[in-house]
Structure 1
Amino acid sequence: MAETLVERRSIDVVPDSERHGRAFSQFTLWLGANLQITAVVTGALAVVFGGDVVWSLVGLVLGNLLGGAVMALHSAQGPKLGLPQMIQSRAQFGVRGAVVPLLLVILMYVGFFASGSVLAGQAVGQLTHTGDSTGIIIFALVTGVMAIVGYRVIHALGRVASIICAVAFVYLGIRLLDRVDLSALLHDAHFSAPMFLLAVSLSASWQLAFGPYVADYSRYLPRTTSAKATFWWTLSGSALGSQWSMTFGVLVAATAGEKFLAGQVSYVVGLGGAGLIASFLYFVIALGKLTINVLNTYGGFMSMVTSVSGFRGQKVLSQRARTAYIALIMIAGTVVALLGKDSFLASFKDFLLFLLTFFTPWSAINLVDYYLISRERYDIPALSDPDGRYGAWRWDALGVYALGLLAQLPFLSTAFYTGPLVAPLGGADISWIVGLVVPAVLYWLVARRNTAHVPEATILPEPEPESVTS
């Protein structure tokens, strides 16, 4: 069949005949996805909550590298298996048991879609001279169309955004440094362990949030693509982009503080200038948010299909069904954005951060299974068969997952729940560290006792009589 732009694959494995691209595509995609306003706000929070510039920057670097490494290990799975990220969870949790983390993934990405749409809606509203609500709706429609087209347009968007947003951030950085006494900020360093750990947690959590869908965007790479190349290009793009944005946020918060947080979009545009420059910056803000919101929509769509197909036995999705699933994600996210654009957003962000608690144990279990237990060997057809080698429910993994969740609670600090061990740690939230280490160790101890479900080599599905294209 002739190559088309619109993607036909969803949760089915990508055959070798349809693989394309280079590992470098992961760099441009994740650089573009992280050069955006929400990452700027995340970095600013490290200072707003009481940290100084120097140690906030060091903590953010450490968190981006640690969380980014975990995320990039997931990315390296894509070329090997040719599958979306979350469908791989069936090997650990069972064909139907994987729905447990999946439902939370869907909820989180609808939330991220909503929070991103609020900021992007402000920019689109300014560009089109309409209100924020109209801007949100326009932004959502563009996001939905791009997610429907799929993989190729997503990577093309990443390449464009990585260049345009980088140019804009260089310009904004120059404008900011004209207003900032950088030497004074760098000399005012006072180490505080809780504030340092907060900065680490902010950036690490930012990176870990990409884990449930990062392999979705590397699965079309040729199977011969080096795992190391995929890992390093993903890590470097994501860590560089996020650290760049967060550094800008730290410097802005150290000089503007509440003025920035009260109106992030307007402050950044005002920093850059007026007239055509302002219009360009509104466009850049919308473009940066578009890149990440398309990823959220596409990832949410994949997770929803994976959840439903585990019970229906569905392997291939029609274009009509694909459009319907993406429309559901888009509509749900837009409704939440419209309802929360004035007062709900701050508390909703706390809720989203709380949801991240549910993904660190999943990430730990998935990585330990892939790299240490199964050693990259999976029976791909069995991932769709509840009566196959992985079964419908794997209660040992689900039990470890539950223990991983419980282990985090004493260390968790959110607006609506604070664990008893947060105060002794000076208010620092280290739940994400516990959520990675405890389930990783427990799953390794449990899973290595019975590896009968692990095949001798990866088992691929039978070749299709006629392939479709991405």
Structure 2
Amino acid sequence: MAELVERRSIDVVPDEERHGTAFSQFTLWLGANLQITTLVTGGLAVVFGGDVVWSVLGLLAGNLAGGAVMALHSAQGPKLGMPQMISSRAQFGVKGAVVPLALVIVMYIGFFASGTVLAGQAVGELTHLGDVTGIIIFALVTAVVAAIGYRVIHTLGRVASVICVLAFLYLGVRLLGKIDLGTVVSENHSFHLPMFLLAMALSASWQLAFGPYVADYSRYLPRSTSGRATFWWTLGGTTLGSQWSMTFGVLIAATAGDAFVDNQVGYVVGLGGTGLIASFLYFVIALGKLTINVLDTYGGFMSIVTSVSGFRGQKEVTQRGRSLYIAGIMIAGTVVALIGRNSFLDSFKDFLLFLLTFFTPWSAINLVDYYLISRERYDVPALFDATGRYGGWRWQALTVYGIGLVAQFPFLSTGFYTGPLVDPLGGADISWIVGLIVPAVLYWLISGRGRDTGTFDGAALPEQGAAEASLSR
């Protein structure tokens, strides 16, 4: 057991502790996306007015676009050997990175809560203890697995990918035996641009929300791991898993009506059968949600430690500290889950689009800096030194980030705010497209010319020593 418990937190993973292959990213992200919340996300495209054919195509477009951005973040892991948000210090400064990190932590708690609502229903039915007890049990199991860390998380992903594939195949056969697919498709294929773009935004936001932590799960791969292999296996797993689940959700939402809206977990299980089959499906729902909720909890732990260490200068966390951080995330997420469990669908849709607004500018800045300006080389020791190369606050990046946020507001459409340019576009929400393009271009124009391009030691990792010294930016 002691060997399974992870010792690393935000510190760099040395070469001798690296292991695995890029294929591990495929199984992890396939298992993380073949689950009930992804299904519900796809169903939202229909629940809020979309048709079947164009909702599926819109979801596919968003999964590919958002998944490509997410996979580019994943490819940073083997190269840098550190959590995703630590690399943000190269753009925002050692302390300035706390600005997007604060929103990332809110995201993790929100996703923990939304996942725990649905998984808690499954656990409650499986144990006959009710939703509230099911939510608490599920939250505790999530915290324990997250505290153990990286190896168990990847093992969980592999197991979940196999079991969930089998379960989704079975449910797909049951659904197709219950509905007339030809009729459903033929009666639901009218193109409506705003609904198509809503479907794109839902799936793109789903993928982009993985960006702040995706490299956390590729950082233990050997440094020799191909960046292209990491990119394609990540993209393949996350796109296949999410599109499969979301398409299933579209078909269910289009044919089940209020039965799905009122009780997502109950309807999906009822589709599969009763007795032992129903118990197995409740277990599958809980297992699928456990995979993604552990990722959210682990990522939340990394983000909190990154925020604190930016001001305290620490690189490592004790096992006791790790447990306390994870317990805090679990408690906060559980409280939100218990409060919001009766208004899940409306709240979740707005939450996804809210997240999209704040994470697209961060992704744009991080990727432009890493791939185009820094060309995949960072001064790693300086990422932990507020007086070093990257400084405490990098106001250029923070300003661009703010402009990227503001630029999206006129195009944003959520339940609590609609921008002035949404109606002229027929109700379409294109804020996430604006949020990627505007800050990417601005950051390239401002930082591409002004960034220090001198040499520095230990560009890739401090443990490499002289072999990687004096790399140019």
TM-score after normalising by structure 1: 0.96
Say which is worse superposed, 53-62 or 238-247, in terms of deviation.
Answer: 53-62
Report the 3-state secondary structure (helix = DSSP H, G, I; strand = E; otherwise coil) of the residue aligned with 1:219: coil
Distance 2:300 2:245 in 1: 24
For residues 64 and 454 of structure 2, what CA distance do their matches in structure 1 show? Answer: 31
Is contact 1:389-1:453 (8 Å) kept?
A: no
1:180 counterpart residue number: 179
Secondary structure (helix, strand or coil) at the match of 2:450 reads: coil
Distance 1:454 1:183 in 2: 62
| Aligned position for 2:257 | 257
Write the letter of the residue equivalent to 1:414. Answer: T
Give the Cα–Cα distance (whole angstroms) in 2 for the partners of residues 347 and 198 of structure 1: 16
Give the drift of 1:352: 4.8
Superposition deviation, residue 347 in structure 1: 3.0
Distance in 1 of aligned mates of 2:346 and 2:140: 24
Aligned residue pair count: 463
User: Where does residue 395 of structure 1 map in the other structure?
Assistant: 395
Cα distance in 1 for partners of 2:412, 2:346 equals 18
Q: Deviations over 1:30-64 (max 9, x none)?
A: 00000011111111111122222111111111110
Match of 2:288 in 1: 288
Matched, 1:102 2:131: no
Residue correspondence of structure 1 range 132-281 to structure 2 within 5 A: 132-188=131-187, 189-281=189-281
The residue correspondences of 1:233-382 to structure 2 (distance < 5 A) are 233-343=233-343, 346-347=346-347, 349-382=349-382
Task: Give the match's secondary structure for 1:449.
Answer: helix
Partner residue of 2:121? 122
Q: Is the contact made by 1:63 and 1:204 (CA closer than 8 Å) also made in structure 2?
A: yes
In 2: Cα distance, 1:111 partner to 1:25 partner = 26
| Most deviating of 65-74 and 348-357 | 348-357
Q: Measure how far apart 1:358 and its partner are.
A: 0.8
**Are the aligned partners of 1:407 and 1:438 in contact in 2 as well (CA < 8 Å)?**
yes
Q: What CA distance in whole angstroms lies between the structure 1 residues aligned with 2:232 and 2:66?
A: 13
Judge conservation of contact 2:261–2:345 (CA < 8 Å) in 1: no
The aligned residue for residue 71 of structure 1 is 70
Range moving further from structure 2, 345-354 or 84-93: 345-354
Number of the residue aligned with 1:30: 29
Helix, strand or coil at the partner of 2:135: helix
Q: Equivalents in 1 of 2:443, 2:366: separation in Å?
A: 9
Deviation at 1:326, TM superposition (A): 0.6
* Alpha-carbon shift at residue 425 of structure 1 (Å): 1.2
Alignment partner, residue 413 of structure 1: 413
List per-residue Cα deviations over 1:241-283 (Å, max 9, x = no partner). 0000001001111111221011000000000000000000000
**Which position in structure 1 is the counterpart of 2:461?**
460
| Equivalent residue number for residue 468 of structure 1 | none
**What is the SS of the residue equivalent to 1:134?**
helix
> How far apart are residue 308 of structure 1 and its match?
0.3
Q: Measure the CA separation in 1 of the matches of 2:116 and 2:455.
A: 44
The amino acid that maps onto 1:458 is A
Instruction: State the Cα deviation string for residues 378-431 of structure 1 (Å, max 9, x = none).
Output: 000000000000000000000000000000000001111000011111111111
1:197, 1:430 within 8 Å by CA — same for their partners in 2? yes
Aligned equivalents of 1:49, 1:336: Cα separation in 2: 24
Distance 1:311 1:26 in 2: 32
Give 1:349 shift. Answer: 4.9
Query: What SS does the aligned partner of 1:416 have?
Result: coil
Q: Tell me, in whole angstroms, the C-alpha distance in 1 between the residues paired with 2:212 and 2:236.
A: 18
Q: Distance in 1 between matches of 2:204 and 2:163?
A: 26
Alpha-carbon separation, structure 1, partners of 2:340 and 2:352: 13
Contact 2:114 2:344 in 1 (8 A): no
Question: Shift of the alpha carbon at 1:342?
Answer: 2.4
Instruction: Compute the displacement of 1:341 (Å).
Output: 1.7
Instruction: State how far apart, in whole Å, the 2-side matches of 1:133 and 1:191 are.
Output: 41
- 1: CA distance, partners of 2:348 / 2:19: 39
Structure 2 match to 1:86: 85
SS of alignment partner, residue 393 of structure 1: coil
Aligned to 1:50: 49
- Deviation (angstroms), 1:6: 0.4
Q: Tell me, in whole angstroms, the C-alpha distance in 2 between the residues paired with 1:247 and 1:138.
A: 30
Q: Give 1:186 deviation, angstroms.
A: 2.1
d(CA) in 1 for partners of 2:216 and 2:344? 31
**Which residue identity does 1:122 align to in structure 2?**
Q
2:206·2:352 contact (CA, 8 Å) conserved in 1? no
